[in-house]
Chain A
Amino acid sequence: MTRVVVIGAGVSGLVAAIRLARGGAAVTLLAKGTGGLQLSQGTIDILGYAPDRVERPLDALGDFAQANPDHPYAFLDAELVGASASYVAELVGAELLVGDPAVNLQLPTAVGAVRPTALASPSMTAGACVDGAKFVIIGLKQLKDFYPELVAHNLNRTDLPGGGRLEARPVMLGFPAREGEVDSSGLTYARALDDPATRKRFAEAVKPLVAEGESVGLPAVLGLDDHNAWSDIADLIGAPVFEIPLPPPSVPGMRLNRTLTAVAKASGVRVVPGSKVTGYRSPGGSVACVQLATAGGIREFAADAFLLSTGGFESGALHADSRHNLRESIFDLPLRRPEGALVHADYWGDPQPLFLVGVETGPDLLVRHPGGDAVYDNLYAAGGILAGATRWQEKSGEGIAVASAVKAADSILAAASSATTEGAAS
């Protein structure tokens, strides 16, 4: 049985670990923290802007890859990306992800922009911004990360991507998540609304605010562990309800994270939380093990293959020092660095070169020297650490992550299988 260590517990690490385990590998997932999914909006973005708004992301990938030959989508093709998105949707089920990877949904954000994404939580889809839609956007006085006026009034002045306009009106509702608390996080609300009795009180407070024909937009705090909390609320109100994602901590992201982690464990992945990799050994041309600094000494995790899915600058996987020397934090891997200055002054301008920095891989996701050979014969990379994408602008983060995770897992399994075959032949 081939042994694989996956480093990093974001969407790419979790998806790769599950696929590897289900493919017959013995998988250890080393997680420094809780992974980047909790910062995300709980959707699967594939391609939202290229740079113009994209309606059909899989159809757009070919031209996008041609225009951006250094982008991960240059070697992660549309068929792979579409299949990988569907794979994640199957893993978490229709309670958490719905939609067609080939068609973008256009969903409202917490400032009232219309944001393209491929797959979303079913709790969000009634917010599709289409001509003639009627929304009442309801904020909660005790929740400071959601302002219904900002959402509704910006939506009202937006020419919708598919043409036309919608009508939205704001309402602010006082509904404490906990008695006597005026400053509650989205997570506090989500936990409170896991309780059916609280949901009932909440729905009773919301119902009189909704007019005939309106869909109800609420901050994305409708339950954490109970994935049907939102539909329960919708039934009680008697109108379609949709969640609008908030800045971190993101409840929909947390739902995906918890579910994928549970699926990983159920698939036999050994998850080791609190594991910051502090070293490695690589005799010859292979990584033999990675090391953790634990109480009493160094603990080693040996494996046949390693997958680096540690993210980008946001997670600390990449680091730029005060002289702009760049470093990959674990293996000090060679990085692809754009020429010239890494940062420029124009906030609304071109992508900042700094955030295009990352590791380069071949189509098999084996990490290589920029433009050259593999660094080690068993070190793969997936997700945010791959060079060449400005994920937050393109709305491409999860698409790159899941496609590279699936492809890396399949490459590792294929290499293991061919090694076994060779071994058997000799």
Chain B
Amino acid sequence: MKTLTADVVVVGGGSTGAGVVRDVAMRGYSAILVDRADLGQGTTGRYHGLLHSGGRYVVSDPHSATECAEENAIVTRIQSHAVERTGGYFVATHVDDPAWGDDWAKGATDTKVPFEEVSVAEVLKAEPRVNPKISRAFKVEDGSVDGWQLVWSAANSAKQYGAKILTYHRVTKINRDGDRVSQVVCTDEKTGEEVRINTNFVLNCAAAWGGQIAHMADCPDVQVVPGAGIMIAMNHRLTNSVINRLTYPADGDILVPVHTVCIIGTTDQKADDPDKLQIAWDEVQQMMDCGELLVPGFRNARAIHAWAGARPLVKDSRVGSGDTRHMSRGMSIIDHSERDGLKGLLTIAGGKLTTYRLMAENVVNAMCAQLGETRPCRTADEQCPGSEDKKNYVITHRLEEREHDRTEDQILCECELMSKGMFTRALADQPKGSFDDLRRQLRLGMGPCQGGFCSMRATGVALQSEHIDIERATGLVRLFLKNRWIGIWPILYGDQVRQTALDNWIFQGTLDVEHLPGPTHEEVV
């Protein structure tokens, strides 16, 4: 057993938790962040990558729209390397009412979301694949953001201010001393060791899992309803701008270019358990139909991967519990001293990735208020690590890097232009990481071949490091192949069938990987 001490313990390593730990650390508190898995492995890593202009909410949720517009500008500045300034369009397809655009434009004006009405011809010139039958279009300042880069850079900023980031630490209990929080008990998932953290304050940022965490502090019935949405990555960028449907928020209304792919999203189904989200065939079909509306021929493009994420929506008595799309996406802070008579615990949920910094500011303000302290927030004023040069992400950045190092280093993943050096450095930083942990930072195996060529190379290179023995290396590649399949099988059609057949020929046909000697224990995390 190990005992640590911190002023504040942040539970949850998604965007909210990372923003919160950065904020508390910058205000001078000692802080520890714990997550049961890797950073950004929950909802933050399972969304479509949109950095909202605010345009999506100008009619349905004006307050959120304004927040999005303001925070978009801040995040684009302080985490420039994680954000691509793609720009975006709201387009009325032939099945949408162009007159609704007037309501939208009024909403955008009222909420101070920057926009400009543009001609259909201008949209088609910029984005030739967009449906030529669109009748109306508005240009907005949408961007795309790499959720993992965002979370890691916020966490790294927190570390520079002295915070500790403990991934793979599962919270098992929150102890109290009378009416105050006193200790967070965790299990180190990699070693099995118990870790006790003495603290006065816990900020519950576990989002869709926030109800479970509150329950560990004997605060029952915090209802965070997971709103599940599926997303599908297509094998290249069908558009270089974000394309939104000019309608009231609905399913399948957005196409986002992120890195080398573009992502269509999303659906919204009430889920019972955020750890057991399904990708149903009819939802995939629904996404394909929506894609066809935005980009004709979408069904003939190649889908490479699908995933589902759980929005952390706080149950709101104003809407029925089955309708998660229209539950509050604004942030909710639950003060457990009022609700449950327990001081030193705040639960935050709701909100969206674009406004993660503001959510953090609000919850840390609430904490300071409860503690009777005044410490101003400074998170909007300072660049995060990695963004010192203030340059935004561009799709060609890895190509440029490889141009510089191609005579000295090998390319392990051709799809994503990941070099051997990138892989070995990430592995040295995270020697206990799984290939999926490394993937989230490097995009290993996320391109069209879905690991067909790079998985074996990654295994071989990992084995050459001192961190990993043969059993673990073999277990890691088996786990990686199994995990990739989770996102492949629901969308296995078209040319991805062809790719999968080739991958099967490689892994089973040539390498016979399924008949490697079994591990003494199977890697599961």
Contact = CB atoms under 8 A, between A and B. Distances in A.
Chain B contact patch, size range: 35 or more
A247 B299 contact: no
B470 interface: yes
Contacts of B119: none
Nearest to A315: B498
Contacts of B219: none
A154 B516 contact: yes
B510 interface: yes
B517 A182 contact: no
Contact of A110 (B409, B461, B510): B510
A157 B517 contact: yes
B482 A111 contact: no
A19 interface: no
Contacts, number: 154
A109 B410 contact: no
Given A149-B464, A322-B493, A113 B511 contact: yes
B407 A147 contact: no
Nearest to B474: A154
B504 interface: yes
Interface in B275-310: 281, 285, 288, 299-300, 303
Contact of B492 (A142, A348, A354): A354
Contact of A144 (B288, B420, B470, B500): B420
Contacts of A182: 407-410
A131 interface: no
B456 interface: yes
Contacts of B303: 322
B156 to A, nearest CB: 30
Given A314-B502, A320-B497, A111 B459 contact: yes
B501 A149 contact: no
Contact of B512 (A109, A147, A149): A109
A146 B485 CA distance: 24
Contacts of A41: 509-510
Contact of A314 (B409, B473, B481, B505): B505
B514 interface: yes
Nearest to B303: A322
A77 B393 CA distance: 60
A187 to B, nearest CB: 15
B94 interface: no
Nearest to A108: B512
Interface string A123-167: 000000000000000000010111101100110111100000000
Which of A320, A321, A322: most chain B CB closer than 10 A?
A: A322
Contacts of B463: 147, 149-150, 153
Given A111-B516, A145-B456, A391 B509 contact: yes
A50 to B, nearest CB: 13
Interface string B455-474: 01101110110000111011
A39 interface: yes
Interface of B: 281, 285, 288, 299-300, 303, 406-412, 420, 453, 456-457, 459-461, 463-464, 469-471, 473-474, 477-478, 481-482, 485-486, 489, 492-494, 497-498, 500-502, 504-506, 508-517
Given A111-B459, A320-B497, A322-B285, 7 more contacts: A147-B459, A150-B470, A154-B470, A183-B410, A247-B453, A314-B505, A347-B482
Interface of A: 39-41, 49, 53, 109-115, 142, 144-147, 149-150, 153-154, 156-159, 172, 180-183, 245-248, 250, 312-316, 319-324, 341-345, 347-348, 354-355, 391-393, 395, 397
